[in-house]
Structures are given as structure tokens and as C-alpha cells.
């Protein structure tokens, strides 16, 4: 699987339509079903939800105006579902993230060369690496950068993906990287962890108090809404009270 990830990261075939996307989907279509067949894994709720989504995609082909294009898109979703199954069946994805970081490093090197004036690959926006579009290249690089941060031994490979993130100059990519770094710092910071634990404890206590107060509130509300009891108490027959005019 890591070799497939690296190949998909750098594959481009100039001279054909969709030179950057079609070869990648062809490789996935040829390899992913066999990998999934020998690594079926276990079924979870995520698998069931994905299967329902694919079933809806197949059903929507009944009323689409462009059947062949819809079938192609449904097949792509099916490949993505198989990739999810393969990833869920693996104990760790360290090798996959290392391969993705290496692929991002190759794209970063090509993007640097394209920025300096090299024009060996066709591109719609400068610089695009092997993705033909700089936004796609930057998105792949930021995914690889965030993923490799979770592999302590190979964390230094993030330096290979950072140039592609910067040269892509995509606001969406910068936002995604910023959110990932905030979550990482929040997880590693002891003060933030303590505040998070205190917030969780406070939330649990508030929930407990609310649950405990609900019966009392319901009782008070029922008492307030019920009519007052009738005055049926009578005085005894022999009473010492006397009324005068």
C-alpha cells in the first residue's frame, strides 16, 4: 500500500486528457480491489454508513441525465470506500504517511523548480507539481504534513511537504494547517489539557445538577398548575364559639 500511495502522489502522463487525474484513478482501480480482497478487515458503523451512501449513489443513477458520467463518479466513490476499508483494517498507517510525505517532497521539489522557471510539465496554475493545479498540490502536501506529524520517528519529513504548502498559496490549505497545529499544541500543552479536563468535569457536574433538578421542577410546576383543594372541613357540632349581632 505505501508504494501505491507514493506512485499516486507523483504520477502524471503529459499528452493525454486529464493528464494528472486519470492516471491516478486508473492505478487505484487496478490495485485497490485486489488489496481489499486480501485484507477485508472487520465491519464497523463507518462501513455500514459508507455502504448506504454507495447504495444511494447507485440508486441515483436511475434518474440521472448523464448515466455514464454518473457511473464513473459512483465508481470513484466505490474506490474511496475500499480505501477506507483497507485503512481501517491496518493496525497502523505509519508507512502510508511516510510514503505520502516522500511524494509530497517530490512535488515540493518540482514546485520549487517551476517557481524558478522550469517548464517541463504542463500546468494550469503555477506552480502545480505533478497535480496540474497548484491548489490540488498544496492540499496533498498539507495532508501529508499533518499525517506525518503523527509518526514520531519520521516527523522530520514534514520539512519535505512544507514548501509545497507555502508555494501553493491556498487560503484553504493555510486554514487547514493552522487548525491542525492548534489541535496539536492543545493536545501537547499541559495547561490546555488541565483546562480541558476541568471543563469536562464542570460540564458533567452541570449535567448532574440539571438531571437532579428536573424532578423537583416538575413537581413544583404540577403543584402550581393544580387547583387549590376545596374547603370541606366543618366545625364540630358542639362548639364554644358564639356569634353575636
Q: Which whole number is the average pLDDT over 153-169?
A: 87
pTM over 0.85, yes/no: no
In a domain, 211, yes or no: no
In a domain, 212, yes or no: no
Quick check: 130 pLDDT over 80? yes
Q: Which whole number is the average pLDDT over 170-192?
A: 78
Average pLDDT, the chain: 76
Quick check: 128 pLDDT over 80? yes
Quick check: 177 pLDDT over 50? yes
Lowest mean pLDDT of 79-88, 91-100, 180-189, 191-200, name the range. Answer: 191-200
Q: Radius of gyration (Cα) for the chain, nearest Å?
A: 32
Say what the pLDDT of residue 208 is: 52
Q: With cut-offs at 50, 70 and 90, classify the pLDDT of residue 76.
A: confident
Say what the pLDDT of residue 218 is: 46
Quick check: 159 pLDDT over 50? yes
Q: Which whole number is the average pLDDT over 136-159?
A: 87
Q: Which domain holds residue 160?
A: 91-191
Quick check: 40 pLDDT over 80? no
In a domain, 219, yes or no: no
Phi and psi (nearest 5°) for 137? -65, -45
In a domain, 177, yes or no: yes
Q: Which three cell numbers stand for residue 203?
A: 460540564
Q: With cut-offs at 50, 70 and 90, classify the pLDDT of residue 176.
A: confident
Query: 74 to each of 27, 57, 59, 87, 223, how far by Cα in Å?
Result: 17, 6, 10, 20, 60
Separation between Cα atoms, residue 92 and residue 204, nearest integer Å = 33
In a domain, 13, yes or no: no
Q: With cut-offs at 50, 70 and 90, classify the pLDDT of residue 89.
A: confident
Quick check: 165 pLDDT over 80? yes
In a domain, 102, yes or no: yes
End-to-end CA distance of the chain: 108
pLDDT in tens, 19-34: 778 888 888 888 888 8
Q: Which whole number is the average pLDDT over 209-227?
A: 50
Q: With cut-offs at 50, 70 and 90, classify the pLDDT of residue 220.
A: very low
In a domain, 163, yes or no: yes
Separation between Cα atoms, residue 112 and residue 180, nearest integer Å = 24
Which among 178, 24, 151 has a CA at the least distance from the CA of 94?
Answer: 151
When divided into structural domains, the chain yields a total of: 1
- 222 or 53: which leads in pLDDT: 53
Q: Is 122 helix (H, G, I), strand (E, B) or coil?
A: coil
In a domain, 139, yes or no: yes
Q: Is 172 helix (H, G, I), strand (E, B) or coil?
A: helix
Question: Sign of the CA dihedral 37, 39, 99, 186?
Answer: positive
Contact 40, 81 (CB under 8 A): no
Query: 14 to each of 11, 21, 23, how far by Cα in Å?
Result: 10, 11, 10
Say what the pLDDT of residue 109 is: 92
Quick check: 6 pLDDT over 60? yes
Amino acid at each position: 500500500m505505501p508504494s501505491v500511495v507514493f506512485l499516486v502522489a507523483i504520477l502524471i502522463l503529459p499528452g493525454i486528457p486529464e493528464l494528472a487525474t486519470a492516471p491516478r484513478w486508473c492505478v487505484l482501480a487496478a490495485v485497490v480491489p485486489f488489496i481489499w480482497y486480501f485484507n477485508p478487515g472487520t465491519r464497523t458503523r463507518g462501513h455500514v454508513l459508507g455502504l448506504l451512501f454507495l447504495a444511494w449513489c447507485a440508486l441515483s443513477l436511475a434518474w440521472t441525465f448523464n448515466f455514464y458520467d454518473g457511473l464513473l463518479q459512483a465508481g470513484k466513490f466505490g474506490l474511496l470506500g475500499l480505501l477506507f476499508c483497507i485503512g481501517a483494517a491496518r493496525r497502523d498507517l505509519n508507512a502510508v504517511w511516510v510514503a505520502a510525505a516522500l511524494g509530497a517532497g517530490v512535488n515540493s521539489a518540482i514546485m520549487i523548480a517551476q517557481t524558478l522557471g522550469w517548464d517541463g510539465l504542463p500546468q494550469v496554475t503555477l506552480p502545480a507539481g505533478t497535480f496540474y493545479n497548484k491548489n490540488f498540490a498544496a492540499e496533498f502536501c498539507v495532508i501529508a504534513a499533518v499525517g506525518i506529524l503523527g509518526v514520531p520517528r519520521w516527523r522530520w519529513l514534514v520539512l519535505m511537504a512544507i514548501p509545497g504548502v507555502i508555494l501553493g498559496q491556498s487560503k484553504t490549505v493555510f486554514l487547514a494547517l493552522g487548525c491542525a497545529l492548534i489541535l496539536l499544541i492543545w493536545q501537547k500543552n499541559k495547561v490546555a489539557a488541565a483546562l480541558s479536563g476541568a471543563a469536562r468535569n464542570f460540564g458533567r457536574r452541570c449535567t448532574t445538577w440539571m438531571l437532579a433538578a428536573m424532578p423537583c421542577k416538575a413537581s413544583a410546576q404540577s403543584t402550581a398548575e393544580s387547583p387549590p383543594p376545596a374547603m370541606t372541613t366543618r366545625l364540630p357540632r358542639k362548639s364554644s364559639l358564639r356569634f353575636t349581632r
